[in-house]
Amino acid sequence: MAERTLVEAVNLALGLAMTADPNVVVLGEDVGVTGGVFRATVGLQQRFGRDRVVDTPLSELLISGLCVGMAAQGLRPVGEIQFMGFLYPCIDQLVNHASRLRHRTQGRLTCPMVLRTPHGAGIRAPEHHSEATEAMLAHIPGLRVVIPSSPERAYGLLLAAIRDPDPVIFLEPTRIYRAAKGDVEDDGEALPLDVAFVLKEGRDVTLISWGAMVKETSAAADLLAEEGIDAEVIDLATLKPYDEETVLGSVSKTGRCVIVHEAARTGGFGAEIAALIAERALLSLLAPPIRVTGYDTIIPLPRLEQHYMPSVDRIASAARQVCQFG
Amino acid sequence: MDTLTTRESADDELPVIARFEVRHRSYISPAGMPLRKLPAFASDVALLTALYRAMVLARAFDLKAVSLQRTGRLGTYAVALGQEAVAAGVASAMRTEDVLLPSYRDNAALLWRGVKMEEILLYWGGDERGNLFSGPPHDFPYCIPVASQAPHAAGVGFAFKLRKEPRVAVCFFGDGATSKGDLWEAMNFAGVHKLPVIFVANNNQWAISVPLKLQTASETLAQKAIAAGFAGEQVDGNDVIAVCAAAEEAITAARAGEGPRLIEALTYRLGDHTTADDAARYRPPEEVQTHWKEEPVARLRAYLVSRNAWTKAQEEALASECQDRVEIAVEHYLATAAQAPVTMFDHLYAELPDAYAKQRQELEDKLEDKLEDKLEDKLEDKTRG
């Protein structure tokens, strides 16, 4: 087993999927010769040819629309959008076509496509390169929305996404593309798409997060452990459909919950989880669920972004607050 | 000498590096008279009468659909009055294995490819099963948003090219769609990869209330293909022989690997945009009257009659046959019971995720409660009675 970064794990999964299934086609801006702006597709065009690793014109709407047409014809397209801020021209295709092709033809045509895009801030990137608007996508019926937080899960979840018979949005946490390292075995084993991962068991408080924020959330749990607070850490991993039972089971046990995401607070996916807990676990609660999130501001440019992002300190403070409630 | 003149004369000396031209194709005059030598297939009376029958049926179907809508038995419906030749003519040049990507005004093409009238009614009557139709199973459902099916056509064409299949994707859209980036992005990609895709602009000159001159300053829509690196041609969209010939040429070339084409079929929307629209609010009746003189059904009939290929008796028989077929389709449509409410969860995903299975159960329970309430009410009524 070799140690790999998250972006290498993505590359590994793409290579394996393309080897296993001739219908898998990778397409996007700069994915071929240069292997993508983050090098996620590096080497694939040399291995699989220009017919299956396609450098598209610079048009995001086209990439998503091509995926729909190709998928309806039985291919398994994996489109890449260079940054989440450039995903928005694809929304029409995702809402009006990809997500509903199966339903509106009553199963006659299907849309087994994957759209990959980097997610989140923290890499000192220019404007529009730090978006975290996953809640918007998770609101669309018929889609799956997945976001790994480690190389192992990036590999297993991407394989599952490519093999899934329905459209999957695969968000890749930019900040930990290279910072996250782990042992990834290239064994073709997929991970389940609608299961949350309990990364650390604990009795006192449940910390729920996804993507790059899992790093700070886990660090906060370590800090809390030193203070005698035993935190359970959940990586939600799939936001749509999400694993309600793991969330409810954990909160029923701990009675306390902190939800962490870097996306803005209002209407963020944390609100969905808090609502679920209020609806179905109210009587096990010992404190109100708290969200630690990005602010309801435009994500700042690099000089201020560290003040926007939830920090280990903010997460730990929130956990202490719910533990001291009442 | 003023500077402007100096500049202009300097420009005249610059070399011309590219020239383009756009051709217009028509064979039959509005009165049904040949304008030039007709293509060989036009001597095939069986084909021309088949096209004529398809156009008459599509028009009879449209009329009935509007009356169903007016009497509350169908939802909003988009009529194709006056544009039957575009859809029928192009569809007649396609093979079954080709893929149709229709807009919402192309019923004549769907009918030609084997979709049943009751299925079309079912869709516009608010039932998704209308898209689970008897036409080729790989054909796309109507695209209701404008132009967003164009990238799908490019994707379908890409799949054909990748698998080396001699098949063609045919994408219909209106003049309004040519203002959207979707169409450009799709044509641009199809041009780069020489994909087997035919783009058919049904130029009926009105996008709801917006006339063509407010849609574009282009002299033709056909020329929009030139920037994408392939040929565009304008045809008289009310001359089914011209439509058919242009489609036949384009599809044959695409099938042979020669890449995409754009066909601009110049026609006119004689009806309202949909049953929810009243074109009299924005369009002078004189303009509509003028275009009635050019409409495709009467034109083809005049040509067939002039060739002694169509009689009054045949015309009468066809009218009553179409009416009968439409009536039978309407009966089937009206007799189709609505799906059970919980079927809204069917085909959402290949397998319904647990989280949504719970919501399905919620709906099911609600329906059962209602049923029980009804039964209890009945029981009470009986007890009282």
Does the annotation mark B104 as catalytic?
no
Q: Which helix H or strand E contains A4, and what residues bound it?
A: strand A2-5
Residue B6 has pLDDT above 60, yes or no: no
Q: Which residue has the higher pLDDT, A65 or A194?
A: A65
User: Residue B255 catalytic?
Assistant: no
- Yes or no: say if B268 and B205 are a contact pair by the CB < 8 Å rule: yes
Residue B35, pLDDT > 50, answer: yes
Position B272 confidence tier, pLDDT thresholds 50, 70, 90: very high
Residues A52-75 have a mean pLDDT of 98
Across the range B308-321, mean pLDDT stands at 98
- CB B202, CB B243: distance < 8 Å: no
For β-strands A231-235 and A205-209, DSSP reports them as: parallel
Checking if the pLDDT of B11 tops 80, the result is: no
Residue of B148, B188, B193 best to disrupt the A interface, most CBs of A under 10 A = B148
| Chain B residues close to A65, C-beta within 8 Å | 148, 150-152, 154-155, 182, 185-186
Q: What pLDDT is stored for residue B107 in this prediction?
A: 96
How many residues can be counted in chain B?
385
Note the pLDDT tens digit of each residue in B172-191: 999 999 999 999 999 999 99
Instruction: For residue B349, give how far its alpha carbon lies from the nearest alpha carbon of chain A (Å).
Output: 6
Please write the tens of the pLDDT for every residue from A231-289. Answer: 999 999 999 999 999 999 999 999 999 999 999 999 999 999 999 999 999 999 999 99
The pTM assigned to this predicted structure is 0.96
Task: State which residue of chain A sits closest to B99, comparing Cα positions.
Answer: A73
Closest approach of B305 to chain A, Cα-based (Å): 42
Amino acid, single-letter form, for residue B140: F
What counts of helices (H) and strands (E) characterise chain A? 12, 14
Residue of B nearest to A64 (CA): B151
Model confidence at A321: pLDDT above 80: yes
Q: What is the DSSP string of A129-190?
A: SS---HHHHHTSTT-EEE--SSHHHHHHHHHHHHHSSS-EEEEEEGGGTTT-EEEE--S---
Contacting residues for A60 by C-beta, under 8 A, at least 6 apart: A29, A81, A86, A87, A88, A89, A90
Tokens for B246? Answer: 């242009």
Please report the pLDDT score of residue B376 as a whole number: 82
Q: Residue A162: pLDDT above 60?
A: yes
Quote the minimal CA–CA distance from A183 to chain B in Å: 30
- Return the number of CB contacts < 8 Å for A and B: 136
Identify the pLDDT of residue B242: 98
**Pick from B144, B150, B158: CB nearest A70:** B158
B99, B140, B352, B360: best to mutate for the A interface, most A CBs within 10 A: B140
The amino acid at residue B40 is A
pLDDT of the residue at B1 = 43
Q: Give the per-residue pLDDT at B384.
A: 66
pLDDT at B8: 55
Q: Mutate which of B171, B195, B347, B356 to test chain A, going by most A C-beta atoms within 10 A?
A: B347
Identify the active-site residue in B129, B138, B282, B347. Answer: B282
Contact across the interface for B158 and A52, Cβ inside 8 Å:
no
Mean pLDDT of B56-78: 97
Which of A52, A61, A241 lies closest to B151 in CB terms? A61
pLDDT surpasses 70 at A217: yes
State how far Cα B233 lies from the chain centre.
18
For residue B372, the model assigns a pLDDT of: 84
- Smallest CA–CA distance, residue B159 to chain A, in Å, is 6
Interface subset of B 334-353, CB within 8 angstroms of A: 346-350, 353
Identify the residue whose tokens are 């902190």. Answer: A258
What is the secondary structure of B139-207 as a DSSP string?
SPPP--SSSTTHHHHHHHHHHHHHTT----EEEEEEGGGGGSHHHHHHHHHHHHTT-SEEEEEEE-SEE
pLDDT averaged over chain B? 95
Q: Label residue B347 by pLDDT band (50, 70, 90).
A: very high
Q: Which segment of B210-224, B249-263, B360-374 scores lowest on mean pLDDT?
A: B360-374
| A210-222 mean pLDDT | 98
Mean pLDDT of B227-248: 98
Is the pLDDT reported for residue B5 higher than 60? Answer: no
- A129 given a catalytic annotation: yes
